[in-house]
Structure formats: C-alpha cells, structure tokens
Structure 1
Amino acid sequence: MKKSFLLGLTLITATGTASAQSSLTGAGASFPYPLYSKMFAEYKNAQNVSVNYQSVGSGAGQKQITERTVDFAGSDNPMSDDALKAAPARLLHVPTAIGAVVPAYNLPGVTAPLKFDGAVLANIYLGKIRTWNDAAIAKLNPGVTIPPLPITVARRSDGSGTTYVFSDYLSKVSSEWKTKVGVGNSLSWPVGTGAKGNDGVAGVVKSTPGAIGYVELVYAKQNKLPFGSVKNRAGKFVLADNGPAALAANGVVIPADTRASLTNSANAEAYPIASFTYVIFYQDQKYGARTEAQGEALQKLLTWMVTTGQGYNEALDYARLPAAVANKAKAIINSMTYGGKKL
C-alpha cells in the first residue's frame, strides 16, 4: 500500500506535447489511500486526467503542500493555525470522507470481537496494561477466554493523521494520556513497535500473536484482522462501520473551513474514533510555474471527489460526507482563484 498510485503522468496530445492539465499529483495520508486509489482510477476513466497520489503519511503530505511540491495534500487531521500561518499563502481544507480508526489485534483462539473502552486503550498505549488477561480487559469481556499473551503494542513511526485521530480520542477520554503524551501526528510514545503507514501497522499486527494496533477500518478488513468494539460517550459498545462512523458528525458544529474533530461524539449510536480525511490545497493557484489550466484541473477533481466520487466511499468502508458538509466543501472549492480571479 505504500506504492504510489500512478496512472500515467501525462496524456500526449496529437502534436506530441504534454497537456498541462492532464495530470495532478498529491501526497499524504495512508488512511484514505484505498479510497483515493479507486476514486482516481475512476476519474481517469471518466475525465482522462491522471492523478498520482503517494501514500506517505499526513505529516509528509502537509510538508509537501507547504513546500508546493504537489498539487494537493491528503491529511486525516487539519493543519494547525501555526502551520497554516507558516505556509507561503492561504491553504484550504476540504473533507472527502469519514473513516474509522479501529483497535485491530491478533489473539489466536479469540473469535468474538473484544470490547474496549478509552481507559483500557489508553493504558495499553501507556504501557500500564501489558498482558491480554489483565483484569481491566477481562472485566469488559466476561465469558471470553483470553490467552495470557504479552501485549505487543504497534504504532506509527511516521508523521500520521491516523495517530492524530487516535491520540485526539485518547486525550478526550484519559487525562493521564492528555498530560503525558497528548495529541499530534508524531508522538513521544511510552511503548510500542513503530511501523510506517496504516499498512505497516497492520502488517505488524498480522505477523505478531498478541499484537494490537490502531488502523483505519479498511486496513483491518483487507488484512483479515479482528478488531474490537469501542465504548462510546453514551456507554454503548460500537463496532466500526460506515453508519456509526457517519453518525460521529451528527451534532458536531462544522465550521465554514470544515476543520473539526469528530472523536468521542456525543451521538449515542456513533463510533467514537472517527474522523474526516481532508485534501489540502492553495486557494490561489497562481504560484511557481503553475498555469491556470492546472488550477482548473484541480478544482474539477476536487468538485468530483465531493459529489460523484462520494459514490465510491461506502463500498470501501468509508462514510459519505453529510449533505451539509458536502455543501461547505463545494463552497470552499468554488472560492479557488488564479491570480486573484475566480476560477
């Protein structure tokens, strides 16, 4: 999953010259990579425009868009105010889907999904719960025979939006986590084996009996990894799926710039570790050697992603954008300019 999704960088016109608007490049989050792979293949078929998206992690994507080496970045967390101020011009965020981060694990002989709550997940990642038959885990899972394996904690080694989402959730449910570790793309981890990308963490879990790792839902499913239900704010244990992930946005005030946290939703039916995933791009597309045609091509792609492209979300275990959020996204995309003139 770490390979670039490359469908031909350019289309060649009848005269043999490359058309500037025939290809676009993006880099960033691995969280939406399975969805973007499908979206961009379909977009190529429909519009004859190739999109090269590199799954390198949200942190790297934010760095590349700040340095203007890609047309857009993918990120599961919005850039901070300080990071936006450090950029050479105004950056915009548009959500493309809602995804769920799940606690995937490898426990031979355990067939029913385990139950987790915020305290147990925080204490596992703080290194305070070290074996699977710990009393705190057993209390949540009465009647389940859990082997007394040591817990191998798997986590991201790269700058990761999935890490941001997971740590944002843990900071809301554990004061100790908030104080000792906090929220971020990259953390000073108390314990754990690091791996790059959602696929890397899934690989550690799959190959290690006793391992647990946080990954986007589709990576658990693709790797046939069991994953647990998580107790939400209303006290209900919810197993991640499209519907419960989408419900995380219900009741959340989404600002005009769409930068919002969906974790630990107050919705009684919501899955608690859910997030938007974003594309990030410059409002004014005239910079460097960019042409107006490139800006127009990006605007058309983004519009397609939040409209027609939403039809691919659910089959790949992502939730569609709520209608009100999709309308905000379209308004942001329509604000794009080239040299101050609206595209």
Structure 2
Amino acid sequence: MERFFRQMRGLSAATAHLCGLIAITLVLCPTVVMADPIRGAGSTFAAPIIARWAENYEKARMDDGDFSSPDWTVDYELVGSLAGLMRLDQPELDFAASDMPVSHEELAKHGRQQFPIVLGSVAVAVNLDGIEKSGINLTGPVLADIYLGKIKSWADPAIKAINPNIALPDLAISAVTRKDGSGTTFIFTEYLSSVSPEWKATHGADTLIKWPVGTSVEGTQDLIRAVQATKGAIAYADFGQVKRANLPYAAIGNKAGKFVKPGPEGVRAAASVASWDEAKDFAVSLTDQPAEGAYPIAGATFAVVSRKIGPHRFGRVQDFFRLAFENGGKDAEALGYVPVTPQMVSQIVKYWLKKDTAASQ
C-alpha cells in the first residue's frame, strides 16, 4: 500500500449482468463509463485510514447511499505530506493530506482550505531484546540527545536513570529517520523543538531535516523494515503501523511528569486542551500538551483543498469526508487513530459553509 492504491468496485448488479464478469466488463462493455475518481496525495501517517474510508465510500455508492456525488472511487498516493501539498498545484489533484498544519496566510495566498480529518500519535519504536511493548521509558531531552548524536548507547546513564528496572544492553543506538518530506517528521521534530533548546536552535521543526545521525529512508514501510532488521534501532512512525508491525515502543515523559504510551487515550487527552476554537483554519499543535494523561508526540492530519478545482470537485471532497466523519470513527479507532469529535465536525461544517459563501461572492 506504500505506493498507490485504487479501489475500483461499485458496478451495479444490472450492469454486471449485461456485461458479464466485472473484470471482463471493463474491457468488453464500451457503454460502461466510470466517473473520475476523487484524487488525493500526501500523508503516509493517515494512509491506512484514508484507504479504509475509501472502501466505505464505495460501499455507500453501491448501497445507493444519500451522498450527493456520483463518483465511486478514491485514489490516494502515499508521497508524504510535503509532496502532497506541492502537488496541489496540479489540476488533477482534489486534496492533499498533511500532518503539518498550513498557516492561515499561506492558505489565503493560494486560495485553499484546511480542516482536520483524524488525530493520532507518533510512536517511538525500538528494537531491543527483552523489551516488551512500552516497557522502556524515554523523555524528550533524552530523545533529542539521541537524535543530536550525544547519546550513543542504550546503556547511557541518562537512559538507565529513567529505566531502573530494565537491564539495558551496552549496544549502539541506531537511529532511523525519514529522508522524504514527512508530516510525521514534522510532528516528531516539533516535539523535539519544544523540549530541547539545542534541537530548536540547530534544526527546528520541519518536514525535511538534515539529520545529524542515523540512517534515512523513504516512507513509513521502509522505516519499519529498517527497525525490524537492526538491533539497537530507534525510529518514529505512526502508532497504528508500529503496533501492527509488532515492534516494541516507548512510553514518553510528558509535561506533567507522567510516562504515557502512544495510543488513543493519550491523544484524546492532548486534544482536550488544544485551542481549536481560537485557531484560524484549525492550525493547532497537539505536541507537548499540559494535560496529565496527554501523550506528548500527538498530531492531526489535515485535508488541504484548493478552491481552484471548482465547486463541483470541492463538493465531492466534502462529500467523501462527510461520510468519513459520520461513519468512519470506529474504523479510525480500530487502526489506532482518534476520530475528530462531533463538536469538531460541527465546526468543520460551519467552516465549509462560511468558505463556500465567501467564495461565491
């Protein structure tokens, strides 16, 4: 799924009867016209849930759902948040998915809208023998020093001090990072910048980082494979994919001094104290929030849509995400994400209406 997925189902039973098997129909039945798919690109962090929502959207079409657009399919290309945003200038793209919020000024400059579609956590995965999932603690300053190249061994006193009950091996730490423009990288480095003045001054928060140490790979799947193949490895990736890969992951010390595991509960706690009402275009950071149960490396994925695609295509994107908000919450939770709340959905719909009115004037 790391390259590209296309869901192509939804031909009616009558059409299938007239043209035979669906696979043959597409070749032999010239009267069948498939509508153009909704096309998106960007975040690998949110790719699993977007794929699931695409399946749900097609099912709604087959079941004669009440959603307005006639299109049955969603194509989504996993290219990373930065590349997805860059592709919005291509006329065929309907939306980009980004784990980095775009500023109000940048959105206004390019005539774009932005709204959150799902929340999630970035897990810190490790490959250490004898470490159960979330059986190791790490803090922000320790993580920053690892990625600055200052902490080089799992037996470093700074790591031992927060893991007194673990026999840590004297094994070199092998950091694995993303070399493509990644929103997951943005969330992770935004967190490092909030806990380490040195990291903030030398590297900051961005989708592309010139990493001081480690091995850089493209995409989440290559990153996970690199961790699985390397003893002593450490890396960052979305929680759901780390969990499905059966990789051990760390509990991270938060602002309240609690070690919190990645996952829905910690994300909900972080989102509960975020200033959604005050932010323009929902540009909110969930990293290092002060709630007691907050997981500190949390973030949102945003859909970014250009007004240049026109009202019909913009309406199709709204249609797709409206179905996702209404019926896709359980799927999000099953994959390790947190769905946007009903209150947030109400805010998003009001935002759509406000922007629609402004665009028509």
TM-score (norm 1): 0.91
The 8 Å contact of residues 10 and 61 in structure 2, kept in 1 or not, is answered as: no
The 8 Å contact of residues 131 and 248 in structure 2, kept in 1 or not, is answered as: no
Could you tell which deviates more after superposition, 189-198 or 169-178? 189-198
Whether 1:2 aligns to 2:2 is yes
In 1: Cα distance, 2:43 partner to 2:183 partner: 7
In 1: Cα distance, 2:199 partner to 2:341 partner: 31
Whether 1:36 aligns to 2:50 is yes
Letter in 2 for 1:99: G
| Alignment counterpart, residue 132 of structure 2, candidates 89, 104, 111 | 111
Deviation >6 Å, runs of 4+: 9-15
The 8 Å contact of residues 30 and 56 in structure 1, kept in 2 or not, is answered as: yes
> Post-superposition shift, 1:335?
4.2
| Alignment counterpart, residue 268 of structure 1, candidates 280, 289, 292 | 292
In 1: Cα distance, 2:316 partner to 2:235 partner: 38
Could you tell which deviates more after superposition, 333-342 or 68-77? 333-342
In 2: Cα distance, 1:132 partner to 1:225 partner: 17
| Alignment counterpart, residue 248 of structure 1, candidates 262, 270, 294 | 270
In 2: Cα distance, 1:152 partner to 1:84 partner: 38
Indicate the residue corresponding to 1:79 in structure 2: 102
- The structure with the greater share of residues assigned to helix is 2
Indicate the residue corresponding to 2:344 in structure 1: 325
Indicate the residue corresponding to 1:299 in structure 2: 318
> Post-superposition shift, 1:256?
4.5
Of all paired residues, the percent bearing the same amino acid is 32
The 8 Å contact of residues 151 and 210 in structure 1, kept in 2 or not, is answered as: yes
* Cα distance change of structure 1 residues 332 and 19 upon mapping to structure 2, 3 Å threshold: farther
Question: 1:213-254: per-residue Cα shift (whole Å, max 9, x none)?
Answer: 001001111111000000010000001121111111112111
> Post-superposition shift, 1:37?
1.1
The 8 Å contact of residues 285 and 337 in structure 1, kept in 2 or not, is answered as: no
Letter in 1 for 2:2: K
| Alignment counterpart, residue 218 of structure 1, candidates 227, 237, 240 | 240
In 1: Cα distance, 2:166 partner to 2:252 partner: 16
Aligned residues: 334
In 2: Cα distance, 1:315 partner to 1:293 partner: 32
The 5 A counterparts of 1:105-144 are: 105-111=126-132, 113-144=135-166
Q: Which runs of 5+ in 1 are unaligned?
A: 287-291
Could you tell which deviates more after superposition, 171-180 or 329-338? 329-338
In 2: Cα distance, 1:338 partner to 1:57 partner: 32
Whether 1:25 aligns to 2:46 is no
* Cα distance change of structure 1 residues 85 and 162 upon mapping to structure 2, 3 Å threshold: same
Matched residue of 2:119: which SS? strand
Query: Cα RMSD between the aligned structures?
Result: 2.3
* Cα distance change of structure 1 residues 39 and 19 upon mapping to structure 2, 3 Å threshold: same
In 1: Cα distance, 2:103 partner to 2:216 partner: 24
The 5 A counterparts of 1:171-320 are: 171-254=193-276, 255-283=279-307, 285-286=309-310, 293-320=312-339
Larger radius of gyration: 2
> Post-superposition shift, 1:63?
0.5
In 1: Cα distance, 2:193 partner to 2:252 partner: 15
> Post-superposition shift, 1:68?
3.6
* Cα distance change of structure 1 residues 129 and 69 upon mapping to structure 2, 3 Å threshold: farther
> Post-superposition shift, 1:337?
4.2
In 2: Cα distance, 1:169 partner to 1:42 partner: 34
Question: 1:121-174: per-residue Cα shift (whole Å, max 9, x none)?
Answer: 000000100111101000010020111110110010100000000000111111
> Post-superposition shift, 1:17?
5.8
